[in-house]
A and B are shown apart, each in its own frame.
Chain A
Amino acid sequence: GAVVSQHPSRVICKSGTSVKIECRSLDFQATTMFWYRQFPKQSLMLMATSNEGSKATYEQGVEKDKFLINHASLTLSTLTVTSAHPEDSSFYICSARDRSGGANEQFFGPGTRLTVL
């Protein structure tokens, strides 16, 4: 099956620093990638949809200047949390849609646990 990786799997940073999370589709090309955030004991909430070569579409309430998304290639999307604060601590999950796959087939990465001190 299609594999999506995320790096790093876990990161701890100081308040005010920026953190970059990478999402890669390892064995397929992904024209669309999604970024989700999951707080403890809550569901996944879509943050943004990223299309290769174009600007990301952010969900209501998500600050695009704080959560920078770049999808420069068909296999890589990055999420940068700028000037991170403790309330940004969360589990960030990406997913990718196979360019050639059937409708609605999304493959999820293993997630990145961000802790901001």
Chain B
Amino acid sequence: AQKVTQAQTEISVVEKEDVTLDCVYETRDTTYYLFWYKQPPSGELVFLIRRNSFDEQNEISGRYSWNFQKSTSSFNFTITASQVVDSAVYFCALSDSFSGSARQLTFGSGTQLTVLP
């Protein structure tokens, strides 16, 4: 069955430090999608990125970057020069053909990131 593991429950960094959030996934499928979402204290999920399994190129968007490694089944997320506003819970999620006919998302347990001023 599909599974997403975010081993880091909580991370605290000081502003301007770089921080990497880890995500390891399990799937039997060769075609799947990986996602990252941010959930600030307000609770609303903010979509950050979607990556399909055939696209192993790393991506950078401003201070955010993602490292997709199929060989290690990891999809890690790095925030460069962190800011207090980055404080939130970050979820990694997976969708594959075994997620049901509706291709539901399987979420990791989340990582609480706290950026201290």
Contact = CB atoms under 8 A, between A and B. Distances in A.
Interface of A: 32, 34, 41-46, 49, 51, 57, 91, 93, 95, 97, 103-111, 113
Nearest to B95: A104
| Interface-central residue, B44, B95, B100, B109, by most chain A CB under 10 Å | B44
A51 B102 contact: yes
A41 B111 CA distance: 10
A108 B44 contact: yes
Interface residues of B, number: 20
A76 B106 CA distance: 23
B33 A43 contact: no
A104 B100 contact: no
A46 B95 CA distance: 13
Nearest to B99: A104
A36 B91 CA distance: 14
Nearest to A102: B50
B45 interface: yes
A43 to B, nearest CB: 5
Given A49-B100, A49-B102, A103 B33 contact: yes
Interface in B91-117: 91, 95, 100, 102-105, 107-110, 112
A104 B109 contact: no
A42 B95 CA distance: 19
Contacts of B37: 108
Question: For A43, A46, A110, which residue has the most chain B Cβ atoms within 10 angstroms?
Answer: A43
Contact of A110 (B43, B102, B110): B43
B104 A46 contact: yes
Contacts of B109: 42-43
B43 A46 contact: no
B104 A49 contact: yes
